[in-house]
Amino acid sequence: MGADLADTPATAASPQGLTIDSRWRPVPKGPSALSATFRFLRHNVLSLIGVVIIIFWVVVSITAPVIAPYDPLKQSLRDRLQAPSAQHIMGTDELGRDVFSRVLYGGRISLPIGFIVVISATVIGALLGATAGYAGGAWDNGLMRLTDLVMAFPPIILAMAVAAALGAGLNHAAIALIIVAWPSYARVVRGLVLSVKKNEYVAASHAVGASHARILFRSVLPNTLGPAVVMSTLGLGTAILTFAGLSFLGLGAVPPTPEWGRMVADGINAFDQWWVSAFPGLAILTVVMAFNFVGDGLRDALDPRLRKGT
């Protein structure tokens, strides 16, 4: 409508001297998502570094079969525990496998597991939390008590117990981590829905006869996404870290899978050969730190108090 009016020739001037044309000029379009992202990254050096590191690891993980100099599973007892050299730039482990190739392949496990865990926990948590906050009553009460129940357990102990009960393996570790993670998302989204549903536009949607599902999914839930995205970004680092911890304890990836946590554990047996555990540990550190850099930047950008002064 605004555009139509703007096209209308100016025929009268207002008392302030403004023409109808200028008063009804269409609202300028907001910045596109891409340009907003670039602007955000330009003002957040640490987030920019984080994004670069994440892109680096994603590319490395995808291209690992092409760029890895050796088969990550190929054992060569003759070459066991060799220090870093031109032939094996990160040395070899106690079965003679090339540590560099295994580190490159490690991203193919940790990154997808991190994403799967966080996306699943966010979706489950957001859906349950949103319906609880929107519906209230017994459903809300019951669900919040369920989150209390899960959160009463120290996270690593619950994850260990679930992973131990299901048996070691990537899928089981992922399930354990999702079970541990979803309640936090549910509680945060529920809290946001409780405040968003008081807005007048929600009352207006009710008034025009929109269904509950439509109001929840079209009006309420999209307004809770910002904080949920920040929480997910920070959660990615935590998920990768906890998964590595489970694998380190022998409850995640099973040998000979080239998984970073498992590789650090391999280093315990070859304690004075530092390279066996140092490089996989550095890989975990850089990835987790990168997600924390981005998550921190996003949180600061979304927090008006932090944006303004502090």
> Which chain residues interact with other proteins by CB under 8 A?
46, 148-150, 152-158, 160-162, 164-166, 237, 241, 244-245, 248-251, 261, 264-265, 267-268, 271-272, 274, 277-278, 280-281, 284-285, 288-289, 292-293, 296, 305-306, 309-310
Q: What distance in Å separates the CA atoms of residue 223 and residue 210, rounded to the nearest whole number? A: 17
State the alpha helices, DSSP H only, in 136-169.
Answer: 137-151, 155-166
**What minimum distance in Å lies between the beta carbon of 286 and other proteins?**
8
The number of beta carbons lying within 10 Å of the beta carbon of residue 281 is 18
| Cβ closest to other proteins, residue 142 vs residue 154 | 154
| Cβ closest to other proteins, residue 201 vs residue 274 | 274
| Cβ closest to other proteins, residue 215 vs residue 265 | 265
Buried b (16+ CB within 10 A) or exposed e, 80-118: ebbebeeebebbbbebbbbbbbbbbbbbbbbbebbebbb
**What minimum distance in Å lies between the beta carbon of 46 and other proteins?**
7
**What minimum distance in Å lies between the beta carbon of 244 and other proteins?**
6
State the alpha helices, DSSP H only, in the chain.
Answer: 2-7, 20-23, 33-43, 45-67, 99-135, 137-151, 155-166, 170-196, 200-207, 212-214, 225-248, 260-269, 275-302, 304-308
Nearest one of 82, 216, 85, 111 to 170, comparing CA atoms: 111
| Cβ closest to other proteins, residue 67 vs residue 157 | 157
**What minimum distance in Å lies between the beta carbon of 150 and other proteins?**
8
| Cβ closest to other proteins, residue 181 vs residue 221 | 181
**What minimum distance in Å lies between the beta carbon of 43 and other proteins?**
12
| Cβ closest to other proteins, residue 153 vs residue 217 | 153
Beta partners for 13?
Answer: 19
**What minimum distance in Å lies between the beta carbon of 152 and other proteins?**
5
276 φψ region: left (φ > 0), alpha (ψ -120 to 50), beta (else):
alpha
| Cβ closest to other proteins, residue 20 vs residue 158 | 158
**What minimum distance in Å lies between the beta carbon of 191 and other proteins?**
17
End-to-end CA distance of the chain: 41
Query: How distant is the alpha carbon of residue 135 from its chain centre?
Result: 28
Q: Token pair 């929600």 is at which residue?
A: 202
Alpha-carbon Rg of the chain, whole angstroms? 26
